[in-house]
Structure 1
Amino acid sequence: MNHDTITLVQRSFKDVVPIADMVGETFYARLFETHPEVRPMFAEDIRPQAKKLVQMLAMVVNGLHRLPAIQSEVAALARRHREYGVAEAHYPVVGEALILTLEHHLGDAFTQQIKDAWIEAFTTLSDVMIDAMHEPPRAVGGHA
């Protein structure tokens, strides 16, 4: 990911921050609408998870310029998701819902260039997460 891509994602995310709660809820509405099979993986009240999603997005987006430093956090997130039943096939589904959500909330400001930047950023991060999912589970107590 180059500097321009990171800048486009970070600048566009600033427009998401004031409407973060709506963005999180829209994301899950889109996800469940397009892929109802994932709905049972989540609690009935999606609002707490929607807040967590936007908080995690903020952490990742703000850390894109120092990607190697956040990769361990992103990998740990993937390992936790594996425990919840998330599979490799879910990542493109999530990416699709994310892009649809951003298009919806950012409107005309979500240009093709910004969309491409978000797709590249999501692909980069999902690759890290997928790799981490395939790591063997870590033993309790730090012993391998």
Structure 2
Amino acid sequence: MSDPLAPPLPAQQAALIRHSLSRALQRRRLLGQRFYRQLFDRHPELRTLFSDDLAAQERKLEETLDVFAGDLSRWEALRPAMRRLGGRHVGYGVRPEHYTQVGEALLGALAEVLEESFTPEVRAAWERVYGLLTQEMLRGAAPDPGEA
């Protein structure tokens, strides 16, 4: 059985996330633009789930990614925040499959912005962390069994 207080990512993967995000955020405007372009090109039906002010959405994406990466070493503090976010997402009409679609767009945008430094190891670290964060958001979005 795994230690519930152990970090969910090996230290090397957490370092890859922090380093790659730091590089991506040096081109923050481009990252946001590429993310939303990829998301809406692939899944135009998701456009209605987002604010009309894409510049504000881009800033929100940057801030969210920065917080997540900074808190990777404090997983137990990050988990409740992710669950609250998942609970809020339900109110916006977000469905479980949307997390997969957003993840695809995020990985695509990171690959475009980071170019050759988006190595298979960096991609694997992002896939893992996004999967862990998504699990927590989905837990937060699930109805409370006590309320049924």
TM-score, length of structure 1 as denominator length: 0.91
RMSD of Structure 2 on Structure 1 (CA) = 1.3
Compare 12-21 and 52-61 and name the one that shifted more: 12-21
Find the partner of 1:28 among 28, 36, 52. 36
Shift of 1:135: 3.3
Residue in 1 that maps onto 2:134: 126
The answer to whether structure 1 residue 114 and structure 2 residue 122 are counterparts is yes
**Identity rate, percent:** 30
Residue in 2 that maps onto 1:135: 143
Find the partner of 2:18 among 7, 10, 31. 10
Residue 81 of structure 2 aligns to a residue whose secondary structure is: helix
Residue in 2 that maps onto 1:49: 57
Deviations 1:38-80 (A, max 9, x none): 0111222211011101101100011111111111111111111
How far, CA to CA, are the matches of 2:65 and 2:15 in structure 1?
15
Find the partner of 1:78 among 65, 86, 97. 86
Unpaired runs of at least 5, structure 1: 140-144
The answer to whether structure 1 residue 97 and structure 2 residue 95 are counterparts is no
Deviations 1:71-127 (A, max 9, x none): 111111111111100111101101000000000000000000000000000001001
Residue 47 of structure 2 aligns to a residue whose secondary structure is: helix
How far, CA to CA, are the matches of 2:20 and 2:50 in structure 1?
28
> Runs (4+) of structure 1 moved beyond 3 Å?
none
Unpaired runs of at least 5, structure 2: 1-8
TM-score, length of structure 2 as denominator length: 0.88
1:6 counterpart letter in structure 2: A
